[in-house]
Amino acid sequence: MSTKTLVIDTATDQGVLALFSNDKLLIESSLGRGSNLMPQLQDTLARVGVSPQDLGRLVVGAGPGSYTGLRMGAIVGKTLSWSLGIPLVGVPGIAAYIPPEEGPFVGAIDAKIGGVYLCVGHVEEEGIRYQGKPYLASIEELEAILTPAHWLVTGDREKIASRLSRGGGIRFVERGPDAHQLFRLGEAAFSRGEGSVQGELELHYLRTP
C-alpha cells in the first residue's frame, strides 16, 4: 500500500506544493507571492484524484524565511496533521536549494535588513553532504565563503547580486526549493523518529521576528 506524502514550503515567494506516492512525485505546483494556499491545495489534490483523507504524511518547510510565509504553510500543515491524525515533520527548506550538478554550493535566501540565510553543502554522487546547519549571515560573510567553484542557489538573485561587491565569477542558479529534496529531508526526519501527530511544529526563524 502506498503512502501519500504532502510537501509544503511557503517560506519565500518561490514556494512549492508537491504530492508523493511512496517516493514517486505525483504532482507539483508553484506557490508565488500572495498564493491562496488552501484553494490551491484542494485543486492540486483533485487533479490527481486524491482527497485529504488519503494523505499519510506531511512535510513542511520550517524555515528560515519570511515570517508571514512560514506561518501560512505551518498553519495548514498543523491543521491537517491534527484533524487527520497523520504525522507531520518540519524540515529546513533552504537545505533544498540545490544546484543542477555535483559540486560545492551555497543556498541563500534574502533575510532583509542586510542579512542572508545560508545553507552550505556539497552535492556528491552518493547524495548531499551539508556543512553544519542553516544560519543567518551578513553579505560580507557570504562573499567570504564563496569561491569560483561554488554554486550560489537562490530565488532572490537580483536582491543578493546587487549587494555583492564582486559581480563576476559567481555561478548563480535562480530557483526555489527542490520538491524531491524536501521529500528526502522529510523521509530522513521520519526515519529518525521525528514528527508529531498532534500538529506540533517548531519554526526556525534564526532571528527574533
What is the mean predicted confidence (pLDDT) over 135-163?
93
Residue 167 confidence class, pLDDT cut points 50, 70, 90: low
Q: Which helix or strand (DSSP H or E) is residue 190 part of?
A: helix 179-191
Average pLDDT score over the chain: 93
Residues spanned by the domain of 142: 98-174
Are residue 86 and residue 136 in the same domain, yes or no? no
Residue 198 confidence class, pLDDT cut points 50, 70, 90: confident
Give the pLDDT confidence of 69-79 residue by residue, as tens digits.
999 999 999 99
pLDDT at 209: 46
Please tell me what DSSP assigns to residue 197. Answer: S
pTM: 0.95
* Residues 6, 41: Cα–Cα separation, whole Å: 10
CATH number at residue 53: 3.30.420.40
Grid coordinates in use for 182? Answer: 524536501
Taking residue 55's Cβ as centre, other Cβ atoms within 10 Å add up to 18
What is the mean predicted confidence (pLDDT) over 134-157?
93
Are residue 133 and residue 167 in the same domain, yes or no? yes
* Residues 124, 143: Cα–Cα separation, whole Å: 23
Give the pLDDT confidence of 79-98 residue by residue, as tens digits.
999 999 999 999 999 999 99
pLDDT at 1: 74
Residue 34 confidence class, pLDDT cut points 50, 70, 90: low
Give the pLDDT confidence of 47-67 residue by residue, as tens digits.
999 999 999 999 999 999 999
Burial profile 158-195: b = 16 or more Cβ within 10 angstroms, e = fewer: eebeeeeeeeeebeebebbbbbbbbbbbbbebbeeeeb
Give the three-state DSSP class for 5: strand
* Residues 124, 19: Cα–Cα separation, whole Å: 26
On whether the CB atoms of residues 172 and 154 are closer than 8 A, the answer is yes
Is 86 within a domain? Answer: yes
Are residue 155 and residue 186 in the same domain, yes or no? no
